[in-house]
Amino acid sequence: MKFSVGQTDQRTDARLGTLSTAHGQIETPAFMPVGTLGPVKGLEPQDLERLGFRLMLNNAYHLYLRPGHKVVAEMGGLHRFTGWPGAILTDSGGFQIFSLAKLCKITDDGVSFQSHLDGSTHFITPETAIEIEEALGADIIMAFDQCVALPAERDVVRDAVRRTTLWAERCQAGRRRTDQALFGIVQGGLDGELRTASARELVRLGFDGYAVGGLSVGESKAEMYAMLDVTVPELPAAKPRYLMGVGMPENLIEGVARGIDLFDCVVPSRHGRTGWLFTSFGRVVIKQARYLRDEQPIDPGCGCPVCARYSRAYLHHLYNVKEMLASRLNTIHNLWHFADFMRRMREAIAQGTFVEFRERFYLAQGRDAADAAAPAEGESGRGHHTDRDV
């Protein structure tokens, strides 16, 4: 993997970059669709290609449990197994183990847990996590880390930071393949001091890229952005920066403004399956009765294949009769929206108009850019962006 930084916005920390992998080149900032078990639910690899994506995320924890990393390796690795020709990033599974597994016990050695599927017992160490990710064969793999639930006592967070650093060192020592990039993951909860310390320790170890983990787990937007403000400046400018499990469009634009290069989230696909459609002017909840006879496309200004062909009335009908096509079409629209949103953001950075782009975005949502950290309509202000890949 190679990463080069291009133009940087003069008024924010937004920047353009190019991430080169053995499976293609990705222009950053970029959003990764999530294929937890291989595919994005309901979509084929060709769909993602047509939507403009060149990098996606698969989850090591779920693939370890089924079909098993050894099976995937025997089938030629994730690219051949899934038919996806683009680049792949695998999460180590730390978040999923701590959030899903039953009777999870954490020590410095590793984590013992029971599968959320069948109760079977497993023990994952940093070395095991690397072995799993190397067998899966992704282009970018993540170090094994400890993600704590929020809110948490400072001593708990401090111990998780210490353990994350310890495990990061062991992940580096446990590597056998030289054709995969390894990212370290910054932890620290909502404690700026601990975040700074975690980032500095990982930078000292020297990774191919750095992720900001432990956010999008129920904290407010203001808290998330505050942690980015103290964390990102500690990360090397020459390495890619990845904000894990985020997010909503406003999270993306605020992350980019703070120098983040990569994002992933299940939001566009999961919300598509529940009938929440993203548009340039806000959301359309397609199951609502107001769309029964609505002949308009989801978003008249959208260039996606769904808006080009189908009315809100038809999509409303598909959703209400539980037709599986509804999930597919809604997901295609949402992912197109996210891909186009990132493309327009990159154009704005290139043209030196990112600040104006950000202001127009909030204006179209009926909000002010100065209130970026405030909850949008229908959000509680806490716990509104917990759409992690679980």
CATH code, domain with 160 = 3.20.20.105
Residue 100 pLDDT grade (very low, low, confident, very high; cuts 50, 70, 90)? confident
The tens digit of pLDDT for each residue in 250-306 reads 999 999 999 999 999 999 999 999 999 999 999 999 999 999 999 999 999 999 999
Tell me whether residue 107 is in a domain. no
Q: Report the percent of the chain where pLDDT is more than 70.
A: 96
Are 287 and 332 contained in the same domain?
yes
Shared-domain flag, residues 197 and 245: yes
Do the domain assignments include residue 387? no
Mean pLDDT value across residues 22-30: 98
One-letter amino acid identity for 250? E
In-domain check, residue 389 = no
The pLDDT of residue 384 is 37
Is 217 in the same domain as 346? Answer: no
Residue that finishes a domain, picked among 204, 236, 264: 264
How confident is the model at residue 130, as a pLDDT? 98
pLDDT score recorded for residue 390: 40
Q: Are residues 63 and 169 in the same domain?
A: yes
What total number of domains does the chain contain?
A: 2
Residue 6's pLDDT band, with cuts at 50, 70 and 90, is: very high
Residue 155 is among the residues annotated as catalytic for this protein: no
The verdict on 28 and 170 lying in the same domain is yes
- One domain for residues 68 and 196: yes
pLDDT digits (tens, 9 = 90+) for 55-72: 999 999 999 999 999 999
Same domain, 277 and 232: no
Q: Are residues 164 and 280 in the same domain?
A: no
Mean pLDDT score of the chain = 94
What is the DSSP code (8-state) at residue 234? G
Is residue 361 a part of any domain in this protein? yes
Angle at 231 between CA 110 and CA 34, to 5 degrees: 60
Can you tell me the mean pLDDT for 225-247?
97
Cα angle 320, 321, 327; round to 5: 75
User: What's the token pair of residue 61?
Assistant: 């924890």
Q: Are residues 158 and 252 in the same domain?
A: yes
- pLDDT (tens digit per residue) in 43-57: 999 999 999 999 999
Regarding whether 361 and 280 lie in a shared domain, the answer is yes
Catalytic residue among 91, 145, 299, 387: 91
Q: Look up the domain containing 329 and give its range.
A: 272-370
Cβ neighbourhood burial of 215 (10 Å; 0-12, 13-18, 19+): buried
Rounded CA separation 153/137 (Å): 37
Residue 377 pLDDT: 55
138 and 220, same domain (yes or no): yes
- Specify the pTM: 0.95
Catalytic one among 139, 261, 264, 387? Answer: 264
389 is catalytic: no
Residues 311 and 260 reside in one and the same domain: no
